[in-house]
Structure 1
Amino acid sequence: MSLMGKASIWLMAAVLLTGCATSPPRNPENICAIFEQHDSWYEAATDTREKWGAPVHVTMAMMYQESSFIHDARPPMRYFLFIPYGRASSAYGYAQAKDETWADYQRESGNGWSSRDDFDDAMDFMGWYMSKTSKINGVSKWDAYRQYLNYHEGWGGYRRGSHQRKGWLLKTSRKVEARAKRYASQYWQCKDSLNSGWFG
């Protein structure tokens, strides 16, 4: 095959892969609008609820905070004298999961082929994490505020109270809590339509 032919194949593959990426919701402030635009996300969110007991409005509020529903989100690059020297962490994807935590999830859940930029996998990861938070630190899966503190600080960090020294994090967690409440109110209004497939 000629170099031109190989280049064409690589270009086509890149276009196809780019086309597979799901765009962020047009109206991320409304959970009904999100699921109307991305009905497969609703299925993933309800599967996570059934598997891990993680409420739809809490997982979605936490994911919004982590990535704004951007599939390949990463922490910003750090610079020294205009020279990039890496990112703050290995967090990546919808759930902003770090390398080591994602590896733990893959091993414990058996979902070895999972990908952090796949919404279904990221949602399942979040349910797994919230379930462990409930078991390890006794935090209700319905408690968006404390669930997010655990998600950000880790189970050990939360037990040590590391969040208490981070005023910005406490404020952010309250934002997650407030968004979860708004999502819950919105979800109550469109739940029947979503379950009947009316939006689809």
Structure 2
Amino acid sequence: MQSLRALLFCLITGVLAGCGHAPPEQTHDACLILEDNRAWWRDLRQSEDRWGISPGIQLAILKRESSFDANARPARQRLLGFIPGRRPSSAYGYAQALDGTWDWYREETGRRFADRDDFGDAVDFIGWYGHMSGRLSGIAATDARSQYLAYHQGHTGYNNGSYRNISWLNRAADQVATDAARYDSQISHCRRRLNRRFLGVF
């Protein structure tokens, strides 16, 4: 009965605010992130099994793109310094996927009802995009730095080397690689514990 009330509450309030998780209070320790959001571990594993992109790389891209905020959007441009204008792009959600790229993902995978503010859909998108980066740009699934550069610039941009002279983007890619290595190392030490705890999620 209590779980039924919780589900009904989520459905009702979801119309206004959604039922997504609040962003983690800390983003340095993957084990703590996943212990606080146990269903995320299932989603990360499913994406890894399907596309071959490690949980650490998935988390590192999410951290960079949205800081794990389901409703993240680029800040609006300001007219005359204070009048809200257009957003610079259509990026939205955990993975900050653009409208066109998200439509491509849904068409390619058959996931017509995937939502950018759903964690499971977002990490499946990241895994799929990483898989496409292997096919279209020859990037290894384990190369977090190049995976992020292709993610940010698109496959055509990456293949043309458009990132080479963008210093801030290269620093961002270095940080993603550092975060991915740390997350995967942390997860290797708590994977069994996460698997045991996940059994009690549902």
Matched residue of 1:195: which SS? helix
Q: Which residue number in structure 2 is paired with residue 54 of structure 1? A: 53
Q: Return the alpha-carbon distance in structure 1 between the equivalents of residues 55 and 35 of structure 2.
A: 15
8 Å CA contact 2:13–2:19 kept in 1: the answer is no
1:30-52 deviations in Å (ceiling 9; x for gaps): 10001100010000000000011
Cα gap change, 1:19/1:118 in structure 2, threshold over 3 Å: closer, same or farther? closer
1:140-196 deviations in Å (ceiling 9; x for gaps): 111110000000000000011110120000000000000111111111110111122
- Show structure 1 runs of 4+ deviating over 4 A: 14-17
Q: Which residue number in structure 2 is paired with residue 64 of structure 1? A: 63
8 Å CA contact 2:145–2:177 kept in 1: the answer is yes
1:80-139 deviations in Å (ceiling 9; x for gaps): 202222011000000000000000001000000010000000111111100000111111
Alignment of 1:123-138 (within 5 A): 123-138=123-138
C-alpha displacement at 1:18, in angstroms? 2.6
Q: Return the alpha-carbon distance in structure 2 between the equivalents of residues 40 and 189 of structure 1.
A: 19
8 Å CA contact 1:150–1:157 kept in 2: the answer is yes
Alignment of 1:88-167 (within 5 A): 88-167=88-167
Matched residue of 1:105: which SS? helix
8 Å CA contact 1:94–1:118 kept in 2: the answer is yes
- Taking structure 1 as the reference length, the TM-score comes to 0.90
Matched residue of 2:77: which SS? strand
Q: CA RMSD in A?
A: 1.6
Q: Return the alpha-carbon distance in structure 2 between the equivalents of residues 149 and 15 of structure 1.
A: 34
- Taking structure 2 as the reference length, the TM-score comes to 0.89
8 Å CA contact 1:193–1:199 kept in 2: the answer is no
8 Å CA contact 2:164–2:170 kept in 1: the answer is yes
Report the structure number with the largest CA radius of gyration: 1
Provide structure 2 residue ranges, at least 5 long, that are not aligned to the other structure.
Answer: 1-10
8 Å CA contact 2:115–2:122 kept in 1: the answer is yes
Q: Return the alpha-carbon distance in structure 1 between the equivalents of residues 184 and 99 of structure 2.
A: 31
Q: Which residue number in structure 2 is paired with residue 168 of structure 1? A: 168
Q: Report sequence identity in percent.
A: 40
Provide structure 1 residue ranges, at least 5 long, that are not aligned to the other structure.
Answer: 1-11
8 Å CA contact 2:56–2:183 kept in 1: the answer is yes
Tell me the amino acid that sits aligned with residue 69 of structure 1: F
Cα gap change, 1:15/1:41 in structure 2, threshold over 3 Å: closer, same or farther? closer
- Larger RCO, structure (CA 8 Å, separation 6 or more): 2
